[in-house]
Structure 1
Amino acid sequence: MTTLTKNKIKDSFLEIIAKATSENFSEIKQQAVEFLQKEGLPAAKAEEYKFTPLSKKLESLTNLTSATQINLSAEAVKSELIPDLEVDYLVFNNGNFDKELSSYTEKNYSVKSFKSLSEEETTKIGSIAKVSKDPFTALNTAFFQDGIYIHIAKGKVVERPILILNFNQANNGQVISPRIYVQGESNAEATFIEKVISLNDEAYFLNGVTEVKVGENAHLNYYKIQNESTTAIEANNFVSDVHRDATFTSVTLSLKGDMIRNNLSLNLLDSGCEGNMYGLYLLDGKTHVDNHTNVDHTMPHADSNELYKGILAEKSRGVFNGKIFVRQDAQKTNAFQQNNNILLSDDAIINTKPQLEIWADDVKCSHGCTTGQLDEEALFYLQARGIGKDQAKGLLLYAFAGEIMDHIKIDAFKEYCITLVQERLGKL
């Protein structure tokens, strides 16, 4: 057991990851270790993490060793499937790919464990999510023992959604390090759904990395639900490279947890491509959710759309920091970014900072944020027409949140998400 005290996290992690070697990934793991030795984890005053002190949060955990697979039943897996939705499903068991509990056809795509990758495939891991970009990406790179590699063949359409069930059960702070690499070849189409699941109330640190390559004229969607225990700590690094005439859309629903940090980056690498990021966070208690987004426009005639909405109650805290970069060559860029929040308590806090950095002169870009309380006039209007106060409040909150649901294009999954959101709103 490793007990962490103030200013000891770096040394403790390095001691652990020195044992977490892998012959297939020795080079990239060594890069990660060297980065961590030099930089460590973010200090309390680090600009990118000043509102989300993950390093300090980790000091409260006492067993930061790498989690091992648990005894997970097929019944537990099936209980997390989505009603009325036929899917292929892949199972993470404490960060390791569990092929035996997964069920998939591999029609028009293939699935591999990292342990069975070819030398060429191995070199792709870490090519999109660079270890030097974020210390928690480096930490995942040093820790991961396995992962899921998904390849969608050229011109193929994956008809059924691919559901990734991310099961987590640890002991007082163990580190869980899932890793996903998706490659969609040109003209490919697929939709991914990821559910993050806590199997008990023990604290853990879920530190995941997902890399997605969207080939020319490919169209990929990635939907994620974070609905974990109130002791769960998560750092989620998601990076996508989007190529010519391709479209990538992500929707992230953050419903429950202790402290969650989502780093989402879209690299728009050619003309005609489109990147979309949508998110909804519904927070109560002392839950803390931080969405840091980055959209990088590098070439002309590309579009991006970004909308995040939050409803915060009690002593919860939300953070939104969205950055849009428009490079000098990226003329005719269209970029939209908006963050809207409702605070239901005087003790709830939101820190929001939308940002634009534009180096081109022929662009259409906008960004903004709003923060307010529930509209008392609208609430009174509904009550005056015989609707109870709680029901009226629920209607107004869902009207605010529901816009995010509209970006989910699979009807059965959309209905499932609407039910989750309505249940969550009823508790705020």
Structure 2
Amino acid sequence: MATAIITDILETLLKSSNTTSFPAIREKAKTLALEKGLPEIKEEEYKFTAIQRKLEKSITDFSTAKNISLTTAHIQDALPEGYEGDFLVFNNGRVDLELSKLSKQGYEATLLSSSASDLFGTIAKNEKDVFTAINTSGFEDGIHIQVKKNQKVEKPIHLLFFNQTNEGQVIPTRVLIEIEENAEASFLENSISLDETPYFFNQVVEVKAAQNSKSHYAKLQNESRQAVSVSNFETNIYRDAVFSHTVISLNGDMVRNNLSLNLLDSGVEGNMYGLYLLNGKTHVDNHTNVDHTKPNSDSNELYKGILADSSRGVFNGKIFVRQDAQKTNAFQQNNNILLSEDATINTKPQLEIWADDVKCSHGCTTGQLDEEALFYLQARGIAKDQAKGLLLFAFAGEILEHISDEPFKNHITNLVKERLGSNI
């Protein structure tokens, strides 16, 4: 049961939201959220991430943040140089169609409250994580992006989340993406803090990748140093579909990313890539889940971290191979470099296998920079700091290569080089 203070937090959020759609689903989610309360560190899934304590300390107003004044100048500043695709603007979690650019060539974008889809709430289950239930209860409206059957969306769709404390500090946002049979699309995401005020960003993204579809989702987290962020990203992937997800985490106070790939048929390929570059006291927790349910499917997962100062990283990756999932190929790896004695990494790769004809591997490494490689570069006239930056970028660059949109990749590459001191 939730403590009195957590009950107050939840009820304040739920009462302040202007919600009218999906009343039965919301009421059920509200009841569940109030029964469960926020996770405590005694719970295994949040063992190293004291998010309840962080929210109590950082957030003083648990009502939903009001709209902020956005202009086209904000949009242009947020878009990568040379970007030519469509974009969808979110104002403190709410969809702003007027500021968005939606060609709708090969796809439709509809407010969830107006959508005829019955997928909402069927992929991201409220029972799985209480923050999904809180989001379901409190978000005001979301977006349903539907990529049409046999269509290829040539340019990416960029989701821009503008966040700022404004008469409330909680920012719930909801996205439903449906990629129909034989369709192709890519999505980009960027969360932008307009100042350094503290807020709580609570996101749920549901994705259905239908038969023989191909899709990629790339995400940049570069928020306020006082931002608390929880993302629940759930995907259902069907026969012969390929889905890839890449997340780059650079800033925030406490960030929790829950990512699940449900491989629900044969011939599926699921890919998960992550990079976290942490300094100061930033805390980033990546929890991933891959569920192989049918034969002849592949999953690849590679997360890398570089941690400095008093930052903390957490990685918990789970791979499930069900009894029917023969001929599964599953790879999982987490590699970390610690640049400070005060930096901390907690890593736990896991495999649970009920099939006997599979190829599965997992592992993790944690260490410091290779001193021999550093000496080699210095011996060739490269200054120590620059040599260090070059080695770190070589370590991180493998993840960046999985971002397909060049302007977005270049933007992130510049941010990473600046952080690592590897510009030459």
Shorter-chain TM range is over 0.9
What's the offset of the Cα at 1:12?
Answer: 2.6
What's the offset of the Cα at 1:15?
Answer: 4.2
What's the offset of the Cα at 1:68?
Answer: 1.6
What's the offset of the Cα at 1:115?
Answer: 2.9
Task: Tell me which of 68, 72, 84 is aligned to 1:70.
Answer: 68
In 1: Cα distance, 2:348 partner to 2:56 partner: 27
Instruction: State yes or no: 1:158 paired with 2:153.
Output: yes
In 2: Cα distance, 1:205 partner to 1:213 partner: 27
Instruction: State yes or no: 1:191 paired with 2:186.
Output: yes
Whether contact under 8 Å (1:171, 1:203) holds in the other structure is no
Provide the TM-score with structure 2 as the length reference. 0.97
Seen in structure 2, the aligned counterparts of structure 1 residues 280 and 165 have a Cα distance that, compared at 3 Å, is same
In 2: Cα distance, 1:228 partner to 1:395 partner: 25
SS, match of residue 392 in structure 1: helix
**Structure-1 residue corresponding to 2:82:** 84
Alignment of 1:317-336 (within 5 A): 317-336=312-331
Instruction: State yes or no: 1:351 paired with 2:346.
Output: yes
In 2: Cα distance, 1:392 partner to 1:327 partner: 46
Give the aligned CA root-mean-square deviation in angstroms. 1.5
**Structure-2 residue corresponding to 1:177:** 172
What's the offset of the Cα at 1:172?
Answer: 8.3
Instruction: State yes or no: 1:415 paired with 2:410.
Output: yes
Percent identity, aligned pairs only, is: 59
**Structure-2 residue corresponding to 1:36:** 33
**Structure-2 residue corresponding to 1:8:** 5
Whether contact under 8 Å (1:172, 1:203) holds in the other structure is no
Q: AA paired with 1:149?
A: H
**Deviation sequence 1:20-70 (CA, Å, 0-9, x none):** 463321111111111112211102311100101111100012111011211
Instruction: State yes or no: 1:135 paired with 2:133.
Output: no
Instruction: State yes or no: 1:252 paired with 2:241.
Output: no
**Structure-1 residue corresponding to 2:52:** 55
Task: Tell me which of 382, 386, 389 is aligned to 1:387.
Answer: 382
Instruction: State yes or no: 1:277 paired with 2:272.
Output: yes
In 2: Cα distance, 1:85 partner to 1:24 partner: 34
Whether contact under 8 Å (1:241, 1:268) holds in the other structure is yes
Q: How many residues align?
A: 420
In 2: Cα distance, 1:215 partner to 1:380 partner: 51
In 1: Cα distance, 2:158 partner to 2:418 partner: 22
What's the offset of the Cα at 1:9?
Answer: 1.7
What's the offset of the Cα at 1:265?
Answer: 0.3
In 1: Cα distance, 2:5 partner to 2:304 partner: 36
**Structure-2 residue corresponding to 1:210:** 205
In 2: Cα distance, 1:239 partner to 1:29 partner: 18
Whether contact under 8 Å (1:20, 1:143) holds in the other structure is yes
Q: AA paired with 1:107?
A: Q
In 2: Cα distance, 1:154 partner to 1:308 partner: 32
In 1: Cα distance, 2:283 partner to 2:166 partner: 21
Q: AA paired with 2:9?
A: S
Q: AA paired with 2:44?
A: E
Q: AA paired with 1:76?
A: H
**Structure-2 residue corresponding to 1:368:** 363
Q: AA paired with 1:115?
A: S
Whether contact under 8 Å (1:246, 1:272) holds in the other structure is yes
In 2: Cα distance, 1:260 partner to 1:314 partner: 17
**Deviation sequence 1:179-206 (CA, Å, 0-9, x none):** 1000000000000000010001110000
SS, match of residue 201 in structure 1: coil
Whether contact under 8 Å (2:238, 2:265) holds in the other structure is yes
Seen in structure 2, the aligned counterparts of structure 1 residues 159 and 302 have a Cα distance that, compared at 3 Å, is same
In 2: Cα distance, 1:175 partner to 1:285 partner: 24
**Deviation sequence 1:313-365 (CA, Å, 0-9, x none):** 00000000000000000000000000000000000000000000000000000
Q: AA paired with 1:145?
A: E
**Structure-2 residue corresponding to 1:100:** 98
Q: AA paired with 1:156?
A: Q
In 1: Cα distance, 2:339 partner to 2:312 partner: 12
In 1: Cα distance, 2:279 partner to 2:55 partner: 21
Q: AA paired with 1:100?
A: E
**Structure-2 residue corresponding to 1:114:** 112
4+ aligned runs moved over 3 Å, structure 1: 18-23
Q: AA paired with 1:22?
A: T
Q: AA paired with 1:361?
A: D
SS, match of residue 226 in structure 1: strand
> Which consecutive unaligned segments of at least 5 residues does structure 1 have?
none
**Deviation sequence 1:149-195 (CA, Å, 0-9, x none):** 10011000000110010000114861101110000000000000000
In 1: Cα distance, 2:4 partner to 2:392 partner: 42
In 1: Cα distance, 2:13 partner to 2:132 partner: 16
> Which consecutive unaligned segments of at least 5 residues does structure 2 have?
none
In 2: Cα distance, 1:299 partner to 1:269 partner: 6
Provide the TM-score with structure 1 as the length reference. 0.96
In 1: Cα distance, 2:142 partner to 2:232 partner: 14
Q: AA paired with 2:88?
A: L
**Structure-2 residue corresponding to 1:232:** 227
Whether contact under 8 Å (1:332, 1:362) holds in the other structure is yes
SS, match of residue 101 in structure 2: coil
In 2: Cα distance, 1:284 partner to 1:233 partner: 16
Whether contact under 8 Å (1:233, 1:257) holds in the other structure is yes
In 1: Cα distance, 2:291 partner to 2:167 partner: 38
In 1: Cα distance, 2:375 partner to 2:387 partner: 9
